[in-house]
Structure 1
């Protein structure tokens, strides 16, 4: 049975569709809800897939600034899992931490993106068994200002008009998603509740949607595309074990 471990930084940055996928397959889920001071795993022996979620922090956020977020410890965990041949997925902040862990500093995105906007798949993605089912483009969720760094061997799988690094392949089993394909109506409501005052101040940004628009989106197609990617990632992981 696949053992999936989630690192969750805030209650409003929930795993969403990732948890749905875990339940559908009957996989085992473990959690480090660091906002509740739950520790990171000391051993990676019980992890097949590590999923590091998003959050309002950045890789440069210090323990003094956010006592429950240890960026260096999380980067060390990501690096250990990647080096040991585990499957690793980073989402938003998790993707930025992944880049840092592999030697590529986080950068500012050209545009702030909050809402649902299309990503375009690169030629590498279209030729990849893990992403071919995405098609030419796909509308997905976004909620970010930064983007992951690129290592020398990294390959960009998807980009958007507002951000050139939406999905990055750092290795055969290691992927960073700046976009949020895990969004569900419940997760979006949590994010709105945590960010509504800030959203009003960002109304002039061309890639920032307001709460009514955010609530109107259907997330089914992008969730299904995510499930297809995760199934293919698991297949690749099992083949390499």
Structure 2
């Protein structure tokens, strides 16, 4: 299996996604666009494309962020979808999936930073790749926006602060607005990149302070993510 990551910033690291791929012995490649790496020109050797998060939005122009080419990433995602590859989008990546399929992203009702429960919808409880998450799972968040919905998209999970936490676009294409990949190393980098996180926690209902985020046990969400990814690979191999 070949897993390709598109990474937008050093602090938006793949975390448990990368650890999963390494533990399974899969081949891993990167487009670290923040350091000038090119996106793949062909997708034949990609089995799973993982597009990570970032402070950008799909509407961010190259004039605002020279290393981020939203349209090029959308074209890569669409090429992978059309080629029958498995695609997972995380936060910004989930929004880019929607955009690539003609569904504009939206602004989340609430800013969410920290670890808060998501609830599976009825569609989520019936989804064979995701049902093991259980009815409720506390999971990581770090966002203002949310992915758009195509006519065939299914919302698999919601939170109190955001109505689109996990979206299924096809049997092989999933958007995670939430961050199941977080671990201590990743959250340390995210906290360092954030402006006045502790001050924000006093102003926003769904923003936790740095001590709460650093003191959380990320094992359960990482384990649930591993099982989802194993299920996704099995679905891809059987398709």
2:153 maps to 154
Structure 1: gaps (5+ residues) = none
| 1:137 paired residue number | 136
Alpha carbons of 1:199 and 1:10: their partners in 2 closer, same or farther (altered >3 Å)? farther
Cα distance per residue 1:44-68 (max 9 Å; x no partner):
0110000000000000000000000
The CA deviation at 1:197 is: 2.6
Correspondence for 1:90: 89
Gaps spanning 5+ residues in structure 2: where? none
CA apart distance, 1:199: 4.8
| Partner Cα distance (2:89, 2:186) in 1 | 17
Superposed CA deviations along residues 20-43 of structure 1, whole A, max 9, x for unmatched, are 100110000000000000000011
Partners of 2:200 and 2:207 within 8 A in 1: no
Structure 2 equivalent of residue 167 of structure 1: 166
| SS of match in other structure, 2:45 | coil
8 Å Cα contact 2:197/2:209 also seen in 1: no
2:191–2:197 contact (8 Å) kept in structure 1:
no
Q: 2: CA distance between counterparts of 1:202 and 1:218?
A: 19
State the distance in 1 between where 2:42 and 2:198 align: 39
Post-superposition offset of 1:208 = 0.3
Aligned to 1:128: 127
- Is residue 196–residue 211 contact of structure 1 (8 Å, CA) maintained in 2? no
Q: TM-score normalized by structure 1?
A: 0.98
- Equivalent residue number for residue 180 of structure 1: 179
Q: Secondary structure at the match of 1:203?
A: helix
Moved more, 88-97 or 193-202: 193-202
Cα distance between partner residues in 2 of 1:100 and 1:200: 33
Q: Give distance in 2, aligned partners of 1:132 and 1:202.
A: 32
* Residues 1:115 and 2:121 are matched in the alignment: no
Matches within 5 A, 1:1-241: 2-197=1-196, 199-240=198-239
Using the alignment, how far apart are the partners of 1:110 and 1:141 within structure 2? 17
Q: Is the 8 A contact 2:153 2:170 kept in 1?
A: yes
Aligned-pair distance for 1:128?
Answer: 1.5
Regions of 4+ moved over 4 Å: none
RMSD: 0.8
CA shift, 1:203, in A, is 2.4
Secondary structure class of the residue paired with 2:72: helix
Separation in structure 1 between the aligned mates of residue 145 and residue 202 of structure 2, nearest angstrom? 18
Q: Distance in 2 between matches of 1:72 and 1:238?
A: 29
